[in-house]
Amino acid sequence: MPAIQMTRLRIQVARLLEHFNQPENFARALGELLDFYSDRARRPGRMATLQPIQKQYRVHPAVLKQITDDLAPVCRVQPEAAEALADRLWRDDHFEPRLLAAGILALLPENETDVISQRLLAWAKAGEDRILIDALLKKASSQLMQTKPKVFRKIISTWLKDASIQQQSIGLRALTLYILLIPPDLFPDVFHLITPLPVKPTSYLLNDLEALIAALYEHSPGETLFYIEQVAAKRQTPDLQRLLRGCVNIVNDADWETLRALIS
């Protein structure tokens, strides 16, 4: 990978943005730019342990940051062209262009909520790279929560009610982000969203549920402990017992004995 010289990079990105209204040309020029900065000697690390494995250019984060920074004002002025570009980049076979597509959603104007919602539902599907979907959720949720949190809540509900446990997993991860960004007046509704799931959790969802309960507990320890007690009072399956044991590591010392008693 050549050393990053910011002046040269800015010039290269400026040339790239000349193709902003030409998605195919932009995608091709982006691939050439990322290939120029590709670090082929770098080890893939833990990202390659997730399925499906995505091809990566493995560029320095500064390259993608410069592209995103320069894209931001153009996306706000030309949202329709930005949407077309995001759609094209999402179809790319490399990780970085698809990550950039997710980032474009967060750059759209506030009145583009419907577009963001449509892309979330269309793109966040079972079988996609988990790291990519989590990045998509994080970038899009921040935009939706600033403007229409109830729209994001509706999307989450759609995922949680899906028959696919992979879609439920996406819903739980999105709900965790929702909790971190939620206005106080909407917090009680979170328990209505989650209530049907942990009664018979599957092993596939346990890590997502633990992360969600940890976020709930950080937001409101008392309400979360009461909720855990209600769940524990139901018939305990082996998976539910594993979930409750995992929650022991989430609570503080004052609630530790209470939770231990629930699973003894």
Domain chopping of the chain, boundaries: 1-110
Taking a C-beta distance cutoff of 8 angstroms, is the pair 259, 247 a contact? yes
Q: What is the pLDDT of residues 92-107, one digit of tens each?
A: 999 999 999 999 999 9
| 71-81: pLDDT as tens digits | 999 999 999 99
Per-residue pLDDT at 41 exceeds 80: no
Q: Judge contact between 193 and 157, C-beta under 8 A.
A: yes
pTM recorded for the entire structure: 0.87
Quick: pLDDT tens for 157-166: 999 988 899 9
Q: How far is CA 63 from CA 36, 66, 225, in A?
A: 11, 5, 45
Phi, psi angle pair for 131, to nearest 5°: -60, -40
Judged by average pLDDT, the poorest of 38-47, 140-149, 255-264 is: 38-47
Name which residue leads in pLDDT, 181 or 14. Answer: 14
pLDDT 10s digits, 190-218: 888 887 665 566 788 999 999 999 999 99
pLDDT at 211: 93
Q: Mean pLDDT of all residues in the chain?
A: 88
Q: Identify the band that residue 53 occupies on the pLDDT scale cut at 50, 70 and 90.
A: low
* Degrees, nearest 5: CA angle 27-106-98: 30
Question: pLDDT value at position 240?
Answer: 82
User: In this predicted structure, which of 13-17, 157-161, 260-264 has the lowest mean pLDDT?
Assistant: 260-264
Strands (E), the chain: none
